Structure 1
Amino acid sequence: MTSLLIRSIKFIIGGGFAFVLLVALVGTITGLIQEPPQPTAEHEFHKAPKELALASDGPFGKFDEAQLQRGFKVYKEVCANCHSLGMVAFRDLKALGYNDAETKKIAKDWGAKQPVFDPKAGTWGERDNTPADRFPKVYYAGTGTPPDLSLITKARHDGPAYVYSLLTGYEAKQPDELVKHFPGAKTPEGSHYNPYFANLNIAMPPPLTSENQVTYTDGTRATVDQMAKDVAAFLVWTAEPTMQSRHSVGFAVIGFLLFATILAYGAYLTVWRGVKH
């Protein structure tokens, strides 16, 4: 009798819970039909990233060493003032074609130093960077916290294209249609209109503003478009510096599996040859 009563109570509670869920679902659907969501400025005017083709694209892609060095130069002279690169060590730059002496000089001459704590004095100090150190954290003096760029191309949908589009997508003012239909979406003071940013308005001023903002040593023309492509390519490398070796290992594994499959099939034919089914 007691077990029957317990089962009945469980059934009533479960049925009530299911009924409440059903009522909520019906109410939600009815509300959406009667009052469909109104379009927002972000939905109407946010643009998908521009197309960007890099040498590292696809399973057979390889890093363009010259482009990576140009992209590092753009990061160093433009982006590093606000954005950290905390998951990359200076010695990793050897993969870009820098030798030991150049890597050591880049680390030593880097603007920000490594913080060190003196336990005897109980105070913090600084020391020069060494190749074994990661890029020091940037402490931004303005409002907000600019994101670390180490994994930015992995953290954003269409990462490289997103970075490229964002850097080249600033517009002097909002479109007239946006102002007309969404007067409340006016760009706040201190922000900048960029249709490739999620909410259209971004606090970061345009970082790439003019041609030859950096000087390329390989003779490449440093247009805003070229600098944006180069730094996007560099940030693809920072997010996955072992991409090429990973691809090589993957192809080796696939080749081995194909070869093993052929051997196994040959063995099957040999063992079962002449055997009637």
Structure 2
Amino acid sequence: MKPLRVILPVVLVGVVVLLVLSRLSRGAEADALRVEREALRREAVERGAVARGLSGPAGVEEAQAVVRWWLDAVAALRNRHPGAAAAEAPAPSKARQPEKASAEAAYRAYAAERLDALRAGYAPLLSAADQGLRLDVLAIGPGEHPDTHERALRLDFALWGAPRRLERDAQGARAAVRVVVPVAFRQLAFRFLDAAGKTYGEMTGSGEPYLVMKDPERLSPELPPGVVLGTWWVEPFPREAARVELAVGVQVQGLTSAALTPAFRWEVPVREDWKLRPGETFRAETREVAPEAAPAR
């Protein structure tokens, strides 16, 4: 019994030492992951500078290269620190009201969906740049509206270049830090042209997306920084529409009263699956086009 009384404390001390060393090692790995990820985010914002200023195919190629580089870099970072990356989990919702907790869960699911879409390939359907910002319409397609459960059109987008700043709200000895992205979507407008090129109808809204993540890396550390991701839901287009003019108005507020007001416009053919089904009625504004005056002789 005496040898056991001597050995047992030694074993217990050894176990405690191993546990402490293991915890310190995990903490050091988690710290290294955070430091490297922050450096990676800063580099991503700098690499995206060219993509933010380019329109056309060159801008699309640059944005694709940045997204591809980011996803590869994040995967390499995860492989360098597998333990810390595996231990990361979404923080539980602090919302006490069921509605707020449900909304946060919906945003986390949306963030996971957007990340899967980026991994599948960044291929914008429409792209334009103005005043140092870039707007990519990633996809347009039919779907079921989450609220009305009616058939609608879903437009997914990515806005590059919106600034962000940290605001600290002092609360006694502690200060709460929140990320502010001073961007507002002012207008989303459609003008429909018939086969003759004449205006058939219009559909204009405030532009506020149904869902928007202005600081997406808060919900998923693997989403690229400096890119606002969001989704609009709109009514399907009239069957008479052959082409559509799409316009998006954005406002980015500076520290003073100054603001950027970039405008993005496209004109594209209307696909069949963007239209109402036969027999359905277009409920937005239609316009009677006056016949063109005969040329003077």
**Could you tell me the TM-score, scaled by structure 1's length?**
0.22
More strand as a share of residues: 2
